[in-house]
Amino acid sequence: MGLFDFLRRPRKGESREFIASRKPVAKFRVEQILNVLGRETLIGTVEGIIYPGYKVKGRSIALIREIQKERKKVDFAVDGDRVALILEGKTNAKKGDVLAVYQS
């Protein structure tokens, strides 16, 4: 990182969000993609454990703002749960993609 890299603006399609952990802590298999109140919402199954505040990496990175299971907000999702992830940002994921989930 150069001395003045903090002044550089992100280019179109480039994300400024960084991933803190090196290895993914979970995977998320996308079954459906929705746009709810301007936020990208992914519906699918979890492999591992996911908490709000973690980041999902597809073609780009997005922060998980909320997790819902059966239309109720939950504190976390575990292996095998079918949940909706309400994201801050866009992953540009497609149906059938397997996304990596990282700790923030």
* Spatial separation of the C-alpha atoms in residues 60 and 70, rounded to whole Å: 27
Model's pTM, two decimal places? 0.79
Report pLDDT for 64.
95
What domains can you pick out in the chain, each with its CATH number?
A: 17-102 (2.40.30.10)
The CA distances from residue 25 to 45, 50, 103, in Å, are: 14, 8, 7
Report pLDDT for 20.
60
> Residue 36: pLDDT above 70?
yes
Report H helices in 6-93: none
Mean pLDDT along residues 13-40: 82
Mean pLDDT along residues 57-86: 95
Residue type at 91? T
Report pLDDT for 47.
96
Report pLDDT for 80.
95
